[in-house]
Amino acid sequence: MFHDADALLLARIQFGFTVSFHFIFPAFSIGLASFLAVLEALWLKTGKTIYLDLFKYWLKIFAVVFAMGVVSGIVMAYQFGSNWAVFSDKAGPIIGPLMAYEVLTAFFLEAGFLGVMLFGMQKVGRRLHFFATLMVAVGTAISAFWILSVNSWMQTPSGYAINPEGQFVPADGWLPIIFNPSFPYRLVHTVIAAYLTTALMVGAVGAWHLLRDSTHQHARKMFSMAMWMAALVAPVQIFVGDQHGLNTLEHQPAKIMAMEGHYQSHPDGAPLLLFGIPNDAEQRMEHAIEIPKLGSLILKHDPDAPLAGLDSIAPENRPPVKVVFWTFRIMVGLGLLMFALGAWSLLARARHKLYEWRGLQRFAVWMGPSGFIAVIAGWMTTEIGRQPFTVYGLLRTADSASPLAAPAVGASLVAFVVVYFAVFGMGSWYLLKLMSRPPHPHESDPPNAPAHAAGITPGPALAAGGPSSTKERPHD
């Protein structure tokens, strides 16, 4: 088995498979951490226990999502050392410190306050607990900052030199490396995507329970908050995505050509290809449905502006079009549906029908997973569109892989597939089980709070009812 397979292709499939699994959990936890901070802030400000109930309900879900994100992320480091050792050696002096900054700042911040956030509601004061929740939310954002800085540098490398050993090393300090040309656009686009992903999931859960009981106050509050988020943020995301595309056209034009499906150059203005079947072998688009001049109008704000195609790039440097063309359309299509959901909710709200229009609620339920699909489609567009390079224009993917035989890579790929579907399949089933139950008044704390940690036993708290106590404080 795998004796005749391509080791490089298997290594790429393995990395893509594990990253796709991993990516959905941080995307959810980044948005969920901020949502929890907002809920706790509203509870502290208004004193309304409905916000505390929702906080405790989503806190249990956050704990599972965060844990699966950490576990699935550890595998990335393993693969850098096993399948991509050449890349790790050459780019390590740049990538290594940035990843270390992520651990030193974000992960330590998250880990330091996560225990207080999960189990400290009955052990510390309200303000200190809110501070812990806020720090976890800030930590997830800082983590996104460093990870996206790394990825952006691989897309648009800057501030580097190459030493005699062929390694990328800092040339003019770290700022040009961290704040490379595509970093601001990629960071904003990804973080907003995480917020939208969370809003759609919260909205779907709220809508699901509203369809069963339209008077359920907690479901109403969840649904209303999520629809506000979709209505306000989806248009912003479309604008940010457009700016990100213009930046990509400037720094990675081949990726834009693949996304748009332009095999040939258009000296008198490029059309916008709505549909087509890419034919990489013959370098042409079959059954194309296009709008004349609109491609140049969107990308260069001039319908007659010339737009180069893949025929202007050496064949060995062209990215594959098929996957990039379709994943880009999946992402954009879902983004337009998110915009439609937000606009529909505004109309329903204006007519005081937000909790009565069953069609809107069913649409929100169907849109629940759309954020996850969109972020994976967007990630595939970005990463496959960068091919055939790991460090754009400088280090080829074929020159980045470890000299491993196909059976070795294939065996670890099979092991990952089996373990991931077993472990994360059960985790996802448990998440759905948690979300299938509606939040209740006096929602309980997360279960299984530690009775003994770091040599300290929280005796007084346990004596007063334990960490799982559901007793409300008098002023709640």
Euclidean distance between CA atoms 182 and 435, whole angstroms:
37
Split at pLDDT 50, 70, 90, the class of 167 is very high
Q: So what's the pLDDT on residue 449?
A: 55
What is the phi/psi pair of residue 266, to 5°?
Answer: -125, 95
pLDDT over 70, % of the chain: 93
Token couple for 113: 């306050």
Q: So what's the pLDDT on residue 332?
A: 94
Pick the more confident residue, 461 or 290.
290
Q: So what's the pLDDT on residue 476?
A: 36
The helix-helix angle for 126-155 and 85-101 (nearest 10°) equals 150
Which amino acid, one-letter code, is at 106? Answer: A
249-254 long-range CB contacts below 8 Å, 24 or more apart?
249/299, 250/181, 251/155, 251/156, 251/181, 251/182, 252/155, 252/156, 252/182, 252/385, 252/386, 252/392, 253/308, 254/310, 254/313, 254/317, 254/318, 254/319, 254/385
Q: What is the mean pLDDT of the chain?
A: 88
Going by the DSSP 8-state scheme, the letter that residue 161 receives in this structure is E
pLDDT in tens, 224-246: 999 999 999 999 999 999 999 99
Split at pLDDT 50, 70, 90, the class of 450 is low
pLDDT in tens, 229-288: 999 999 999 999 999 999 999 999 999 999 999 999 999 889 998 888 998 888 888 888
Q: Is the pLDDT reported for residue 77 higher than 50?
A: yes
Mean pLDDT confidence for 377-386: 92
Predicted TM-score of the model (pTM): 0.88
Are 414 and 361 in contact by the 8 Å Cβ rule? The answer is: no
User: DSSP characters for 180-210?
Assistant: -TTHHHHHHHHHHHHHHHHHHHHHHHHHHHH
pLDDT over 90, % of the chain: 60
Q: So what's the pLDDT on residue 470?
A: 39
Q: So what's the pLDDT on residue 455?
A: 46
Report the range of poorest mean pLDDT among 98-112, 286-300, 366-380. Answer: 98-112
Euclidean distance between CA atoms 243 and 237, whole angstroms:
10
Token couple for 282: 């013959």
Q: So what's the pLDDT on residue 210?
A: 95
* Cα–Cα nearest to 412, from 56, 25, 110, 14: 14
Q: Is the pLDDT reported for residue 62 higher than 70?
A: yes
Instruction: Tell me which residue has tokens 């972020």.
Output: 375
252 CB-near residues (< 8 Å, 6+ apart):
155, 156, 182, 385, 386, 392
Token couple for 465: 């009812």
pLDDT in tens, 176-196: 999 999 999 999 999 999 999
Euclidean distance between CA atoms 41 and 277, whole angstroms:
50
Q: Is the pLDDT reported for residue 128 higher than 50?
A: yes
Split at pLDDT 50, 70, 90, the class of 447 is low
